[in-house]
Chain A
Amino acid sequence: GQSLEQPPEVTAVEGAIVQMNCTYQTSGFYGLSWYQQHDGGAPTFLSYNALDGLEETGRFSSFLSRSDSYGYLLLQELQMKDSASYFCAVRDGRSNYQLIWGAGTKLIIKP
């Protein structure tokens, strides 16, 4: 079957670094995406990994290991506005490119 696992909640301190993990199981992996969603808001795209390695975009970095079916999102220099839920989503190439979503990690930032 297809499934993604994310820790339900992570707590960090303002200015620190936090890593949010995602493990997946899918028959036709095509790529791993990360989305941010503030309470009451729409999911917004953060990053995408199709190949192994680290992708960096400002304070956000995303890592993928296809052999381990594992990825993570790294946030540096945390700001209070980063408090949100973070979802990983896998695109399955054998299911007509269906996007399978994890349940999300709620990031709580303390001053």
Chain B
Amino acid sequence: EAGVVQSPRYKIIEKKQPVAFWCNPISGHNTLYWYRQNLGQGPELLIRYENEEAVDDSQLPKDRFSAERLKGVDSTLKIQPAELGDSAVYLCASSATPAGYEAFFGQGTRLTVV
């Protein structure tokens, strides 16, 4: 069974530039999460999808961040424009159910904004 696939693995951009991250969850997993993780900290939820509906985006900085999950499968997270403080690892995860206790994570995208 393929795991959660994310791309790219690494991205370096200049501030004020746009950037996008892509995630393909485990087949059949209806719940998809985007997290941001800073060094030495736990993952911080940005947005959670149930199928194609965003059910929790309270911590998504909507002035510069956007996300979509077309057809309830793949998802894209975008930042425009990027700021220096956005440098972090962006993790995508999926679970079989909304209350599923086991979430499966992708390898993440390490973003560096210079």
Q: What residues make up the interface of A, taking CB atoms closer than 8 Å to B?
A: 30-31, 33, 41-45, 48, 50, 87, 89, 91, 93, 95-99, 101-104
Contacts and interface: CB of A to CB of B under 8 A. Distances in A.
A101 B42 CA distance: 6
Nearest to A30: B99
Contacts of A41: 107
B105 A43 contact: yes
Interface string B46-61: 0010000001100000
Contacts of A103: 40-42
B104 interface: yes
18 contacts: A41-B107, A42-B105, A42-B107, A42-B108, A43-B91, A44-B105, A48-B101, A48-B102, A95-B56, A96-B48, A98-B48, A99-B33, A99-B45, A99-B103, A101-B42, A103-B40, A104-B40, A104-B42
B8 interface: no
Interface residues of B, number: 22
Contact of A97 (B91, B93, B98, B104): B98
Interface of B: 33, 40-45, 48, 55-56, 91, 93, 98-99, 101-108
B45 A98 contact: yes
Nearest to B48: A98
Given A41-B107, A98-B56, A50 B101 contact: yes
